[in-house]
């Protein structure tokens, strides 16, 4: 399998991961009135396709152990960990998409993924401590500050007329928080699937993770389609009756984009590069900043905001950039 051999290469992969994870949700926004439950069928299919293609191409090339050989020596427990990680992540991500449909990209991502970053970095550092802890956790603190400022901006935007309006969607925030709690829990399972001599390689983890995402989608959607977080219940037949080629393509492409981010994140924490899982995960969660910028600049989710809201949003962006900067250099200054 092909893995990075230098810190610079690994960091480039984490940046690519950050871009993919911060941009895939645009495919859902582009479907407009398409229900997130139906979108998610295509999304999960895209995730599985990307994992399979990567496993039998990049995962089977190079001098390191190939994907097929890795499966022969990997332990069943490690496979189960990767599968479970995909199942847990999938519920978190479905809730995140639901939160996006309620509160928008610029709110759902900072709240949900921001909380996931805090939980995930702490857990990953406990499991596999790499990087300067002062720099790493100072960066996390700055990112946390950015998340709080973003939430203040959202509330201030909703209060501009002197009272909380329906634009301040508390339901969307609560769903995003639940999503974050689950999202921060799956990555330690990924690391457990890679541990020991029987551990899975990066592309093997991606494969089993994608299987968990794909098959659990049909289970979770039994609930979301019959007891939706927004709107009326929707039948499976609507997927075929109302879905156009464009909506299905966008869903699959969203899955491809997300899985590309996942695989580059896994690969960046593998090989001889010095980027550890805590740093790789944290940098990947910089997707929060990318998605917030999409929501602000492209989808204009804070259109017409007053000066104080714009200042809060600017502070949020600066804090995020500074936090990610500290996280990225943490491995270079190990005590």
| Token code pair at residue 245 | 């080629």
pLDDT, tens digit, for every residue of 112-130?
887 887 787 777 677 777 7
Residue 17 has pLDDT above 60, yes or no: yes
| Token code pair at residue 13 | 């992969």
123 close to 184: Cβ distance less than 8 angstroms: yes
| Token code pair at residue 187 | 């990555």
Rounded (10°) CA dihedral 144, 118, 175, 288: 60
Q: Which residues contact 283 (CB under 8 A, 6 or more apart)?
A: 11, 14, 15, 17, 18, 268, 275, 324, 327, 328
pLDDT, tens digit, for every residue of 34-78?
999 999 999 999 999 999 999 999 999 877 789 999 999 999 999
Q: What is the pTM of this model?
A: 0.88
How many residues make up the chain in this entry? 335
**Cα 226 to Cα 201: distance, rounded to the nearest angstrom:** 38
């Amino acid at each position: 399998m092909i893995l990075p051999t230098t810190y610079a290469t690994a960091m480039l992969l984490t940046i690519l991961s950050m871009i993919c994870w911060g941009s895939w949700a645009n495919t859902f926004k582009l479907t407009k009135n398409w229900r997130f439950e139906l979108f998610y069928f295509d999304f999960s299919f895209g995730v599985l396709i990307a994992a399979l293609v990567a496993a039998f191409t990049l995962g089977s090339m190079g001098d390191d152990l190939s994907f097929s050989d890795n499966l022969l020596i990997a332990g069943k427990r490690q496979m189960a960990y990767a599968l479970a990680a995909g199942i847990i992540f999938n519920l978190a991500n479905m809730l995140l998409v639901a939160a996006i449909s309620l509160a928008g990209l610029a709110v759902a991502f900072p709240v949900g993924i921001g909380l996931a970053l805090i939980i995930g970095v702490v857990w990953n550092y406990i499991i596999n401590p790499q990087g300067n802890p002062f720099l790493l956790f100072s960066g996390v603190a700055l990112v946390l500050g950015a998340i709080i400022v973003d939430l203040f901006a959202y509330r201030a935007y909703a209060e501009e007329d002197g009272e909380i309006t329906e634009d301040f969607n508390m339901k969307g925030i609560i769903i995003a928080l639940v999503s974050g709690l689950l999202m921060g829990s799956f990555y330690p399972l990924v690391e457990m699937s890679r541990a020991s001599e029987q551990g899975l390689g990066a592309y093997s983890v991606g494969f089993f993770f994608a299987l968990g995402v794909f098959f659990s989608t049909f289970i979770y959607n039994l609930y979301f389609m019959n007891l939706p977080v927004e709107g009326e219940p929707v039948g499976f037949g609507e997927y075929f009756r109302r879905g156009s080629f464009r909506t299905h393509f966008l869903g699959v492409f969203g899955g491809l984009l997300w899985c590309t981010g996942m695989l580059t994140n896994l690969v960046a924490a593998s090989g001889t590069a010095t980027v550890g899982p805590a740093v790789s995960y944290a940098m990947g969660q910089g997707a929060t900043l990318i998605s917030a910028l999409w929501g602000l600049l492209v989808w204009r989710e804070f259109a017409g905001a007053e000066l104080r809201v714009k200042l809060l949003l600017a502070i949020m962006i600066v804090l995020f950039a500074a936090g990610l900067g500290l996280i990225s250099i943490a491995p270079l200054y190990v005590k």
